[in-house]
Structure 1
């Protein structure tokens, strides 16, 4: 398939692009390389993909640019779109709300319009476990209520789900929304907990644990995310002929639209997570326990039974295995140039599974 991957220089986007190229797909990449975090990391991800799987067309444009996006679609006419470009981050949305309005809402509308004018076989778009918000009924099911988001980021992702549904209903665009649960692994974003925690532990700095470290998260390794994406790509949703208008199922529709959780249904206490990371680094963690932050969801846990039924797969990488792969990459990318000593070489010797050529 000829697949457009937006956010191709991002964490999930780079891994997805690499996997698709290795499997023989034609990939067109799009990324704006903004400075929400260090653009050099994005450039390094692209070089990593190119060295491992060859060159691919990569457009340095923004989904907010309606005209440029239209020209890209008209030129390449992709068969499918994996939309991963977005303004990420929960806490960042408290100080920079308009970044989410521009990228996650206006940008997504531009993408939907492009898919309408240049029909695609399948649009897969990133949502988030944060849409469950104030709902404390875990494990989260796609059938649960998501009417009470706790951050603008979460609200923008819920809005994406509704926007995609309206275009599926009106124009027949087959659209699948994926609610990712705390994705981690090599090449992750610097603002994500694995990077923040590993950096603090490695430099002997206090590690901030909000909600006094009482959070639980359903950590999902990047390879499991990509495996799910690749398996879903050739399976666009069709209209659910049994959908009940009187008792509507929030995860399906009479339109060709579907929502899936992607998580392992194995929530981990944050302190266990930190202890595992510190052990793999061979160092001690200094904890700074802080109150719950505005916008934070206390616990997450995915009911991924619908995903397993659809593709015969659910995330399965254990936390020990996944963090070992992450630590190996983190040390090679961040610690070696700084000459920070490696205390436990054996614990961190694993190469990221199937990702480093």
Structure 2
């Protein structure tokens, strides 16, 4: 049976991939994206061109804070059974200098979305993007049921706020709200503001790579196809189960934590490029180490991660060269 899915941020990196995956399964996807200029709009428009080739895709160029958008969406209100909310303002460092945009585009936009769907009889589950940055400075290997009360950026504080607001709406309106804490997702059609993409762009411009925290960062690098596979498993879990009023948050990331310098060495091998490097100090708001503890999630959803770093970077570089 066809599922009707609303995907916010459908021209974003993860939004594009999950939209494409669901369209290929024959599901009907309504996408919404304001195509903002936080990073190069061209890549967002190019992702959108691909999605528009599918007959079962409907797109709104709109903003979740715009009341007129909900007037247009009302026509589909009683058909939508899954919402994947990926729209919002990304970027840890940007949140230090532009805090207000995180309140508006992460917290307020989410509340408006919840207000629209709170009385839906059809909605089975609303999934929303949280982040591994909620764990703060000492976040490595924390399970998703551990407390998060020490954010070190407005970005991570906005994601914690969304998680807390979900508890309220889930309790009052008896709806399933599931947060997903993503861990450093990379791959084709990725975000140009992410380090792995930036490194290749800097090299193309014959500039040295700026390596923050003198290369001491460690991350749970997670390949996009693994994210989409596991996201689909989580959606199916909540579609099949007759659950109501569930508010939960889960980790979604590769268990393996990789040192930034090992990541760069792998990238050099894959690209056959010796990068010029400029080591700089740790930036405000940066988390030194992330590590995805998915013990709980593996048991519940049977999560699986099939791409190692080298394989993922080969696929990314092949796309990068042809884009």
Q: TM-score normalised by the shorter chain: which range applies?
A: over 0.9
Unaligned segments of structure 1, at least 5 residues? 241-253, 334-357
Corresponding residue of 1:349: none
Corresponding residue of 1:343: none
Alignment deviations for residues 92-144 of structure 1 (CA, whole Å, 9 cap, x no partner): 111111111111011000011111033411100000000001334x3121122
Q: Quote the Cα distance in structure 2 between the aligned partners of 1:69 and 1:268.
A: 42
1:277, distance to aligned residue in structure 2 (A): 1.1
Corresponding residue of 1:273: 263
Runs of 4 or more consecutive aligned structure 1 residues displaced over 6 Å after TM superposition = 237-240
Q: Would you say 1:262 and 2:252 are equivalent positions? A: yes
Q: Would you say 1:123 and 2:126 are equivalent positions? A: yes
| Cα gap change, 1:7 to 1:132, in 2 (>3 Å) | same
Q: Quote the Cα distance in structure 2 between the aligned partners of 1:235 and 1:144.
A: 22
Q: Is the 8 A contact 2:141 2:291 kept in 1?
A: yes
Q: Would you say 1:324 and 2:318 are equivalent positions? A: no
Q: Would you say 1:134 and 2:137 are equivalent positions? A: yes
Corresponding residue of 2:25: 23
Q: Is the 8 A contact 2:124 2:176 kept in 1?
A: yes
Report how many aligned residue pairs link the two structures: 318
Q: Quote the Cα distance in structure 2 between the aligned partners of 1:139 and 1:161.
A: 19
Q: Quote the Cα distance in structure 2 between the aligned partners of 1:279 and 1:202.
A: 17
| Cα gap change, 1:70 to 1:177, in 2 (>3 Å) | farther
| Cα gap change, 1:166 to 1:70, in 2 (>3 Å) | farther
Corresponding residue of 1:158: 160
Corresponding residue of 2:184: 182
Q: Quote the Cα distance in structure 2 between the aligned partners of 1:103 and 1:48.
A: 26
Corresponding residue of 1:71: 72
Q: Is the 8 A contact 1:224 1:316 kept in 2?
A: yes
Q: Is the 8 A contact 1:198 1:278 kept in 2?
A: no
Q: Secondary structure at the match of 1:59?
A: strand
1:69, distance to aligned residue in structure 2 (A): 2.2
Q: Quote the Cα distance in structure 2 between the aligned partners of 1:66 and 1:157.
A: 22
1:12, distance to aligned residue in structure 2 (A): 0.3
Q: Quote the Cα distance in structure 2 between the aligned partners of 1:215 and 1:323.
A: 18
Q: TM-score, structure 1 length as denominator?
A: 0.85
1:67, distance to aligned residue in structure 2 (A): 3.5
1:233, distance to aligned residue in structure 2 (A): 1.1
